[in-house]
Amino acid sequence: MENGTHGRKWYTSRKGNLAFSFFIEANCKIEKLEGITIEIAEVILDVFKRVYNINLKIKKPNDIVFNNKKIGGILTQTKLQGEKVKSIVIGIGINTNQEEMEEEIEKIATSIRKEFEIEIDNRKIICEFCNEFEKKIKSRIKDY
């Protein structure tokens, strides 16, 4: 169990789910990164639609949902120096292959496997996400 937005707790199963973080040296004006969490969520939705024909939704500010149950979330942290963002750390967690949810969260959370009865190739999702997101982030931070 970890802390998420507003100090809320989040869980991820040790087996089968997707949880990863990455670091970007940005050195750009903070305005360039406005709305980045939603853009990350849109890339995730696009990848699942394209690869598995699964339609997920965004619940602002940082959740991925299906049938009003949370499937994943995105956390971003920026390091500022003056008016510029020096770096950003992005953390993504998605309940992909979890078969059972903890009792205390089963009414508000689910997994792709539970909802669609398919097994997700987590490596493929990471690769597809990184390829797509790299194109989008480069256009945001290229003009510092």
Q: Is the dihedral of CA 47, 53, 55, 56 positive or negative?
A: negative
- Predicted confidence at residue 3, as pLDDT, reads 47
**Domain extents in the chain:** 32-141
Task: Answer yes or no: pTM beyond 0.85.
Answer: yes
How many C-alpha atoms does 57 have within 13 Å on its Cβ side?
Answer: 8
Is the N-terminal amide bond of 61 cis, ω within 30° of 0? yes
Residues of the chain with pLDDT under 70: 1-14, 141-144
Q: Does 32-141 carry CATH code 3.30.930.10?
A: yes
- Predicted confidence at residue 135, as pLDDT, reads 86
- Predicted confidence at residue 112, as pLDDT, reads 97
- Predicted confidence at residue 8, as pLDDT, reads 55
- Predicted confidence at residue 101, as pLDDT, reads 86
Distances (CA, A) of 70 to 59, 91, 95, 110: 9, 16, 9, 6
